[in-house]
């Protein structure tokens, strides 16, 4: 399986791309996951942005530091160590190693 580098231009997304991917995540959740009890984080929250970024790179291994770098581009005051593993508590399948 392909793995995304921890740094590079891929950590940036335009506001338009974020909006498009947000809509996709919301639609896919309502269509496929909600009926199984998977909880969608509040739109605009950091966990929601984690899903937006992971959705962009579906099928690719993404290190949590890469997601933290992406979050820093949209929320500079956010912590540098985003804990993506917490999505599993909401029903999302996230590899932890």
SS3 42: coil
pTM of the model: 0.88
Q: Are 49 and 70 in contact (CB under 8 A)?
A: yes
Closest CA to 67 of 11, 20, 17: 11
Per-residue pLDDT tens digits of the chain, which is 97 residues long? 677 766 667 788 999 999 999 999 999 999 999 999 999 999 999 999 999 999 999 988 898 889 999 999 999 998 888 899 999 999 998 887 6
Rounded distance between C-alpha atoms, residue 21 and residue 51, angstroms: 9
């Amino acid at each position: 399986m392909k793995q995304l580098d921890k740094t590079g231009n891929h950590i940036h997304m335009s506001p338009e791309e974020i909006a498009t991917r947000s809509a996709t995540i919301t639609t896919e959740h309502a269509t496929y996951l909600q009926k199984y009890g998977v909880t969608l984080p509040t739109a605009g929250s950091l966990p929601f942005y984690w899903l937006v970024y992971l959705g962009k790179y579906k099928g690719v291994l993404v290190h949590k530091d890469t997601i933290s770098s992406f979050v820093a581009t949209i929320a500079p005051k956010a912590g540098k160590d985003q804990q993506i593993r917490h999505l599993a508590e909401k029903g999302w399948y996230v590899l932890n190693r």
